[in-house]
Amino acid sequence: MPNPTAAMLVIGDEILSGRTRDANMYFLAGELTKHGVDLAEVRIVSDDAAAIVSAVRALSESFDHVFTSGGIGPTHDDITADCIAQAFDTQIDVRDDARALLAEHYKKSGSELNEARLRMARIPDGATLIDNPVSVAPGFTLGNVHVMAGVPLVFQAMVASVLPTITGGQPMLSQTLRVLRGEGDIAPTLSALAEKYDDLSIGCYPFQKDGAFGANIVIRGTIGTRIDAAMTQLAKELEL
């Protein structure tokens, strides 16, 4: 059976403007790889309701899981929860269990659960909460879409909460061979290898370091013996 597939939707003007560098995609890709879920697409959209709704619908229909990042905070531009509700054609309102979590948290911290903070308790009908052990305000899962915060530390904690609920496949394995040759020189060999081992992913990534030019050849797959065989053949054909 093939591994489950996933997509990620990164939401926020601050990402597209260059003010904030996204770290969540890198983290999610690594965690999904270990869990046996293939991250197949990543999109970045602005804080625009129509764009978010359109992307959520498209990705939800195309992949087994969708992970969103950003836009579930207390300010006016945090519109992700409303957009998810719209994408699934359901209602959204403050939910008692989410409100209780926030009320306890802010009571302990001596802060007020004001209207702005209460926005973080607005959950679409039919969603299940995603635990947030860092700052309490929950994410949620609706259908196959997992909605999480954009702050990296919180995002990572929410991913840890979600992954045990997802059935994964075989973890992706990889081996890398570094060669001091140009891509044009090794391209025919790689093409033939990719045709023979069509169950593996074979990538070629050029580098330049200390005046030396070369390429890292990465072979990825779920069966270690197949990767070993392909790498052995590659090294032999390149006479390494």
Looking at domain 5-165, its CATH class is alpha beta
Average pLDDT over residues 134-159: 97
Instruction: Return the pLDDT at 2.
Output: 86
Task: Say how many C-beta atoms besides its own lie within 10 A of residue 95's C-beta.
Answer: 18
**pTM for this model (two decimals):** 0.88
Structural domain spans, the chain: 5-165, 173-237
Helix (H) or strand (E) segment spanning residue 219: strand 212-221
pLDDT tens for each residue of 49-86: 999 999 999 999 999 999 999 999 999 999 999 999 99
Instruction: Return the pLDDT at 211.
Output: 81
- Distance of alpha carbon 60 from alpha carbon 130, whole angstroms: 18
pLDDT tens for each residue of 91-133: 999 999 999 999 999 999 999 999 999 999 999 999 999 999 9
Provide the H-helix boundaries in the chain: 13-16, 24-35, 49-62, 80-87, 96-109, 115-118, 152-162, 183-196, 224-237
- 159 contacts: CB under 8 Å, gap ≥ 6: 27, 28, 31, 67, 148
For the chain, count helices (H), then strands (E). Answer: 9, 11
pLDDT of 1 strictly over 80: no
pLDDT of 240 strictly over 80: no
pLDDT tens for each residue of 223-239: 999 999 999 999 999 98
Instruction: Return the pLDDT at 239.
Output: 83
Looking at domain 173-237, its CATH class is alpha beta
Average pLDDT over residues 146-153: 97
Confidence of residue 209 (pLDDT cuts 50, 70, 90): confident
Average pLDDT over residues 160-166: 96
Is residue 81 classed exposed, middle or buried when 0-12, 13-18 and 19+ CB atoms within 10 A define those classes? buried
Average pLDDT over residues 200-206: 95
